[in-house]
Structure 1
Amino acid sequence: MSRNLDLDLIRTFVAVADSGSMTVAANLLHMTQGAVSQQVKRLEDVLDCLLFVRKTRKLELSREGEAFLVKARQLLRLNDEIWADMTGQPLRGALRVGVPYDLVTRLAPAMKAFAEAHPHVDISLVCAASPELSDAVDSGHVDVSLLEYVASEAAGEVVGIEPLVWVNGRGSDAWRKRPLPLSMVDEHCAFRQVVLGALADKGIAWRTVFESGNIEATAATVRAGLAITAWLASTVPVGVEMLTPEATGLPALPAFAICLRFPATVQPAAQEFARYARESMANEPGTRRAQLANIA
């Protein structure tokens, strides 16, 4: 006998999974915490399994919950796509897109293609470090966002995983200096604590040369040989070079995941923009793919 899943229960489950909190999910969904808890319990009863386990500070997905979350996102996405296709109404309104500073260039083709396909949607870009954008997603201040996480801690829909690499000006010996001169894009950058922690574990002293939200200014200090930095390999600009731990003695850095995240209530325009963003993140130029393969 066929049984049907309740999409409202699934949306609540995804909101709790994304926020790690019944309380936060309740605020985002404009529900009481008790109602959210009841909906999660109903879904667990239907599926005959526990979807969450409670840890000290937050809820975490069980093994069954992790597997179901992937299917739940697919089901909600397909539902929203069918709704948009069948209603046949052009997308309208405002769309707030969050993107880390270093991914703006990579996302540009998606923004251009989306704007041409949906001229009645007014896109505004919110640029910030990933931790700040994560808060903006949770609070509903952005409608869709790309975020960068250490790959082992990824949240949301993973659209790409790539190495974090050391970057040095061509011909510069900045990487040899001690304390190591560092130029970071932002004090809230998702890479900062990872980089500083790796240097501490290796016993390498460092000093800050420059910190700014302007990625071009950071690139300029690196090109000038004043400092080194760390970027995702796909975002490394011309005029600089990637360094390998084997050749320099610098610590190895972890891979990072590029993820898509939505607030609890997902706009059709945000869902459609996400489709363009997935394609943009997947279309890596051939030369850059080769560089990534060499680093990896």
Structure 2
Amino acid sequence: MQTLDLVLLRSFVVVAEKRSMTVAAQHLHVSQGAVSQQIKRLEDVLGGALFLRDRRGIRLAPLGERLFTKAQQMLTLNQQIWADVKGSTLQGRVRLGVPYDLAGAWIAPILKAFVEANAQVELSLKCGSSLELKTEVDKGALDLAIIEEAAAGANGECLMIDRLVWVGASGGAAFLNTPLAVSLVAETCAFREPVIAALEGQDRQWKMVFDNGNLETTRAMVGSDLAVSAWLKSAVPPGLEILSTEANLPDLPPFAISLVRSKGTASAAAVELVRHIHEHLDQS
């Protein structure tokens, strides 16, 4: 009986979703060469090319288009069978740190799925700046932390790459003011240095306001058109809008959303939470 390797199928699905071998490798936590080899092995098994490559990147070939939905279904079914047969007997506690701006809609579906599947695990959540959370992990006060760091110098376990964008009030005009009022959640915000560097590189007059460690204050000030802010594109909250190029604000660098783990042997509950995080992001 002929069978398909689920590891190869998972690599194929992630590459198809991300449209990049490099980004897929980051999500799968393997080298780009390993992903390329896995795709080549699957193509050899199926007898044809799964992707077409051009100057814009990669896209699904006809064979890949036929395989994609079925591969997703097989991976989902595998997860369902595993959960039904094995069940969840995990116990213990997991201490997770999340930046202020990711603690809402971005992380909520992941934590909801984890808690529902592992009712005996006590999950505690701490919010802070990325710098503060990484320090807590290094001290052993947190088991895991999701942090934001410039993609060019990222040291954590990359979960995804996202655009750092300027945001303002819907229909607002704060971006026209001189000096430009900028609100970031905290003085230790990971976005602070690249935002300042970008503004100074444009010779734009600016002033920093409302960096008091309170996300709701920053959101309220920006939503009231008293300032602009920088946010990851995937986490821009309702009521704020991404400013277009017509705002004439400088480009901001891409950021990595990364995972950092405490030293030592991770608990089974922490390992399972990491699996849930990867699974959700791979499917999103």
TM-score interval (norm. to shorter) = 0.5 to 0.7
Determine if contact 2:88/2:117 at 8 Å carries over to the other structure. no
- Give secondary structure in 2 for the equivalent of 1:131: helix
In the alignment, the residues of structure 2 paired with residue 275 and residue 127 of structure 1 have an alpha-carbon distance, to the nearest angstrom, of 21
Q: 1:132 to 1:282 in 2, by over 3 A?
A: same
Deviation of 1:88 (Å): 8.7
Q: Report the equivalent of 2:202.
A: 202
Kindly report which structure 2 residues correspond to 1:251-266, keeping only aligned pairs within 5 A, or say none: 251-265=250-264, 266=266
Deviation of 1:279 (Å): 3.0
Q: Report the equivalent of 1:243.
A: 243
- Give secondary structure in 1 for the equivalent of 2:164: strand
Deviation of 1:152 (Å): 1.0
For this pair of structures, how many residues does the alignment match? 204
In the alignment, the residues of structure 2 paired with residue 248 and residue 89 of structure 1 have an alpha-carbon distance, to the nearest angstrom, of 51
Q: Structure 1 counterpart of 2:133, which letter?
A: L
Deviation of 1:226 (Å): 0.4
Deviation of 1:94 (Å): 1.6
Q: Structure 2 counterpart of 1:239, which letter?
A: G
Q: Report the equivalent of 1:102.
A: 101
In the alignment, the residues of structure 2 paired with residue 283 and residue 136 of structure 1 have an alpha-carbon distance, to the nearest angstrom, of 29
- Give secondary structure in 1 for the equivalent of 2:116: helix
In the alignment, the residues of structure 2 paired with residue 211 and residue 235 of structure 1 have an alpha-carbon distance, to the nearest angstrom, of 18
Moved more, 169-178 or 275-284: 275-284
Name stretches of at least 5 consecutive residues in structure 2 with no aligned partner.
1-28, 35-82
Deviation of 1:248 (Å): 2.1
Determine if contact 2:167/2:241 at 8 Å carries over to the other structure. yes
Deviation of 1:70 (Å): 4.3
Determine if contact 1:96/1:143 at 8 Å carries over to the other structure. yes
Q: Report the equivalent of 1:6.
A: none
Kindly report which structure 2 residues correspond to 1:163-242, keeping only aligned pairs within 5 A, or say none: 163-242=163-242
Q: Please list the CA deviations of residues 44-74 of structure 1 after superposition, one character each: whole Å capped at 9, or x if unmatched.
A: xxxxxxxxxxxxxxxxxxxxxxxxx847xx9
Deviation of 1:153 (Å): 1.2
Q: Structure 2 counterpart of 1:233, which letter?
A: K
In the alignment, the residues of structure 2 paired with residue 281 and residue 261 of structure 1 have an alpha-carbon distance, to the nearest angstrom, of 16
Q: Report the equivalent of 1:125.
A: 125
Determine if contact 2:137/2:145 at 8 Å carries over to the other structure. yes
In the alignment, the residues of structure 1 paired with residue 283 and residue 193 of structure 2 have an alpha-carbon distance, to the nearest angstrom, of 29
Deviation of 1:89 (Å): 7.9
Deviation of 1:180 (Å): 0.4
1:141 aligns with 2:141: yes
Q: Report the equivalent of 2:162.
A: 162
Deviation of 1:208 (Å): 2.3
Determine if contact 1:107/1:280 at 8 Å carries over to the other structure. no
Kindly report which structure 2 residues correspond to 1:22-33, keeping only aligned pairs within 5 A, or say none: none
Q: 1:174 to 1:269 in 2, by over 3 A?
A: same
1:91 aligns with 2:90: yes
Deviation of 1:214 (Å): 2.3
- Give secondary structure in 2 for the equivalent of 1:211: coil
Determine if contact 1:160/1:282 at 8 Å carries over to the other structure. no
Q: Structure 2 counterpart of 1:144, which letter?
A: L
Percent sequence identity over matched residues? 43
Q: Please list the CA deviations of residues 193-247 of structure 1 after superposition, one character each: whole Å capped at 9, or x if unmatched.
A: 1101111111111112312322222111111110000000111122221113x32
Deviation of 1:268 (Å): 1.6
- Give secondary structure in 1 for the equivalent of 2:238: coil
Name stretches of at least 5 consecutive residues in structure 1 with no aligned partner.
1-68, 75-84, 285-296
Q: 1:234 to 1:204 in 2, by over 3 A?
A: same
Determine if contact 2:185/2:218 at 8 Å carries over to the other structure. yes
In the alignment, the residues of structure 2 paired with residue 238 and residue 264 of structure 1 have an alpha-carbon distance, to the nearest angstrom, of 37
In the alignment, the residues of structure 2 paired with residue 238 and residue 110 of structure 1 have an alpha-carbon distance, to the nearest angstrom, of 19
Deviation of 1:113 (Å): 1.3
- Give secondary structure in 1 for the equivalent of 2:89: coil
TM-score normalized with structure 2 length: 0.67
Kindly report which structure 2 residues correspond to 1:33-112, keeping only aligned pairs within 5 A, or say none: 70=30, 90-105=89-104, 106-112=106-112
Q: Structure 1 counterpart of 2:236, which letter?
A: V
In the alignment, the residues of structure 1 paired with residue 211 and residue 191 of structure 2 have an alpha-carbon distance, to the nearest angstrom, of 13
In the alignment, the residues of structure 2 paired with residue 182 and residue 140 of structure 1 have an alpha-carbon distance, to the nearest angstrom, of 34
In the alignment, the residues of structure 2 paired with residue 279 and residue 220 of structure 1 have an alpha-carbon distance, to the nearest angstrom, of 33
Deviation of 1:99 (Å): 0.6
In the alignment, the residues of structure 2 paired with residue 116 and residue 248 of structure 1 have an alpha-carbon distance, to the nearest angstrom, of 44
Deviation of 1:90 (Å): 2.1
In the alignment, the residues of structure 2 paired with residue 264 and residue 100 of structure 1 have an alpha-carbon distance, to the nearest angstrom, of 20
In the alignment, the residues of structure 2 paired with residue 249 and residue 195 of structure 1 have an alpha-carbon distance, to the nearest angstrom, of 14
